[in-house]
């Protein structure tokens, strides 16, 4: 049997629960050896709930020689300093998104990691789920031709409606782009490759929010709408908003020279993937020999027949593990054991942080931001991954 990789978790808040459930009960590649939090009682409660042998301070956790990977689940404003401590202690790092708030900080972290030969990546790991893996397979197989466009949208009324401690979402480093953008950017980068340019507008639709009963002024814009160009040539739009009560916008669609792919929500691990076969429609219309109006009728009536749900070759997961957070850190542990690269790369994590700041900068200057960093699309999961994850 393969040995388990020792894992330490810093931050025992809202999202820690699903991570700890999955990493102590469902994923076999790691063993959670210790948990820490600014508040000792939170670490203690988490250790008790999940049967983890040690609840301690951050410093004690980082001194534990059995811990090889540290999972940082603190709030975004704490990521840079916690992550730096983790790397300086010689531990591999997997951080909740984003890796850092500033591009220079993210670069510095990756520089430290390279010097120490450590892995240094950030969430999300939702792109490792069946939905985005299948979408990548559709694109790579050429079914939609070369990607030329896309749209990516996450619009909701605001996280104060559900989060038990929502203040940080409206402070610097929060907002819909920093919070939700990483899911959509990571999926887009994984599907299309690196970004070339970003042009963005921002707005604050409701600049005073009720945070735990107190009317609070927001520090960050709450709607971002951007136009983006990828190095592969695809151009598209991205809207992230905490101002929209409802929407019928798609989460993520990619348009190619031969067809389109409708992808599931990149903030989830699963969901159906639908392919629109433009060549089929062209064939139907070309076969109509009658003049123009008949071709229009053929086109309109046959639209539906050109859409097909992709056969999910990447098996969807059983319901109880639908939220598979922890898959990324597990992939990292397996990469460590197998001497391969992890599927989330330091370069993608940094590219995402640069992009998050680029939206802000473009909105501020009124000019398109040209990306400085770049990255490569990482390897897809093997199609036997459903077996892999329960090993
Ligand atoms: N809540 C969600 O649904 C959700 C989903 C996906 C990702 N995330 C991400 O997970 C991270 C945490 O979010 P959350 O919602 O769990 O926040 P939270 O505020 O509920 O929990 C954060 C925890 O980190 C601790 N902490 C903060 N600074 C610390 C420090 N310097 N050292 C040690 N502990 C520290 C806090 O005491 C708290 O227990 C964020 O990066 C967020 O973007 C959250």
Q: What is the pLDDT of residues 201-251, one digit of tens each?
A: 999 999 999 999 999 999 999 999 999 999 999 999 999 999 999 999 999
Burial profile 228-262: b = 16 or more Cβ within 10 angstroms, e = fewer: bbbeeebebebbbbbbbeeeeeebbbbbbebbbbb
Whether 260 lines ligand 1, by a CB cut-off of 6 Å, is no
Distance 75 CA to ligand 1 centre (A): 4
Compute the distance from residue 15 Cα to the ligand 1 centre, in Å: 7
pLDDT at 246: 95
100, two tokens: 């850092």
Of ligand 1's listed atoms, the one at least distance from the Cα of 163 is 1
Any ligand 1 atom below 6 A from CB of 55: no
User: What residue owns the CA closest to ligand 1's atom 25?
Assistant: 11
Q: Which atom of ligand 1 is nearest to the CA of 95?
A: 41
> Distance, CA 16 to ligand 1 centroid (Å)?
8
- The full set of domains in the chain, from first to last, is 5-125+323-343+381-389 (3.40.50.720), 127-315 (3.30.360.10)
Residue pair 268/129 in contact (Cβ under 8 Å)? The answer is yes
Beta-carbon contacts of residue 236 (< 8 Å; ≥ 6 apart): 149, 150, 151, 152, 227, 228, 255
Name the pLDDT band for 387 (thresholds 50, 70, 90): very low
Average confidence (pLDDT) over 122-131: 93
Cβ of 216 less than 6 Å from ligand 1: no
pTM of the model: 0.95
74 lines ligand 1 (CB under 6 A): yes
pLDDT at site 322: 73
Q: Ligand 1 within 6 A of 73 CB?
A: yes
- 311 pLDDT band (50/70/90 cuts)? confident
Cβ 75 under 6 angstroms from ligand 1:
yes
The protein residue whose alpha carbon is closest to atom 4 in ligand 1 is 15
User: Closest ligand 1 atom to the C-alpha of 97?
Assistant: 41
Picking from 233, 232, 195, 240, the residue whose alpha carbon sits closest to that of residue 347 is 195
Percentage of residues in the chain having pLDDT higher than 90: 86
- Output the CA–CA distances (angstroms, integers) from residue 278 to 37, 137, 141, 143, in the order listed: 53, 18, 15, 10
Question: 37 in ligand 1 pocket by Cβ < 6 Å?
Answer: yes
Residue 95 Cβ < 6 Å to ligand 1: no
Residue 192 has pLDDT above 90, yes or no: yes
pLDDT at 391: 37
Nearest ligand 1 atom, CA 77 = 28
**319 pLDDT exceeds 60?**
no
Indicate if ligand 1 lies below 6 Å from the C-beta of 299: no
Quote the ligand 1 centre to 147 CA distance (angstroms).
36
**CA 36 / ligand 1 centre spacing (Å):** 12
Task: For residues 340 and 337, give the distance between their C-alpha atoms in angstroms, rounded to a whole number.
Answer: 8
Which pLDDT score is estimated for 310? 86
Distances (CA, A) of 369 to 55, 226, 361, 362, 378: 44, 11, 7, 6, 24
Q: Mean pLDDT lowest for which of 252-256, 280-284, 288-292?
A: 288-292
Q: What pLDDT is stored for residue 101 in this prediction?
A: 96
Q: Which of 73, 83, 177, 211 to mutate for ligand 1's pocket (most ligand atoms within 8 Å of CB)?
A: 73
Pairwise CA distance, residues 76 & 161, whole Å: 20
Reported as a single tens digit per residue, the pLDDT across 351-361 is 999 999 999 99
């Amino acid at each position: 049997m393969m040995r388990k990789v020792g894992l330490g978790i810093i931050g025992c808040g809202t999202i820690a629960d699903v991570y700890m459930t999955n990493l102590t009960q469902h994923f076999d590649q790691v063993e959670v050896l210790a948990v820490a939090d600014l508040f000792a009682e939170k670490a203690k409660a988490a250790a008790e709930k999940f049967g983890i042998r040690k609840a301690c301070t951050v410093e004690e956790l980082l001194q534990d020689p059995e811990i090889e990977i540290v999972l940082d689940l603190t709030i975004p404003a704490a990521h840079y300093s916690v992550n730096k401590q983790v790397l300086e202690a010689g531990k591999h790092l997997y951080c909740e998104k984003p890796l850092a708030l500033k591009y220079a900080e993210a670069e510095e972290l990756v520089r430290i990691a390279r010097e120490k030969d450590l892995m240094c990546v950030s969430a999300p790991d939702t792109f490792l789920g069946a939905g985005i893996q299948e979408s990548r397979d559709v694109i790579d197989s050429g079914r939609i031709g070369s990607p030329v466009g896309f749209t990516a949208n996450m619009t909701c009324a605001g996280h104060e409606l559900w989060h038990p401690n929502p203040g940080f979402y409206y402070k610097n480093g929060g907002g819909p782009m920093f919070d939700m953008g990483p899911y959509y950017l990571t999926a887009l980068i994984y599907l299309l490759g690196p970004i070339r340019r970003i042009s963005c507008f921002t707005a604050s639709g409701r600049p005073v929010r009720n945070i735990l009963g107190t009317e609070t002024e927001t520090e960050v814009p709450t709607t971002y709408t951007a136009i983006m160009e990828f190095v592969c040539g695809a151009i598209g739009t991205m809207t992230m908003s905490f101002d929209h009560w409802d929407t019928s916008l798609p989460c993520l669609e990619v348009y190619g020279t031969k067809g389109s792919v409708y992808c599931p929500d990149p903030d989830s691990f699963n969901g159906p993937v639908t392919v629109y076969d433009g060549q089929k429609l062209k064939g139907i219309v070309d076969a109509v020999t009658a003049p123009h109006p008949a071709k229009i009728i053929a086109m309109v009536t046959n639209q539906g027949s050109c859409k097909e749900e992709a056969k999910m070759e990447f098996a969807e997961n059983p319901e109880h593990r639908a939220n598979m957070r922890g898959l990324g850190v597990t992939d990292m542990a397996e990469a460590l054991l197998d001497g391969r690269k992890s599927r989330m790369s330091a370069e993608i994590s940094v590219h995402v942080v640069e992009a998050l700041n680029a939206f802000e900068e473009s909105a501020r200057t009124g000019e398109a931001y040209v990306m400085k960093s770049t990255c490569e699309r990482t390897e897809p999961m093997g199609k036997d991954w459903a077996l892999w994850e329960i090993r």
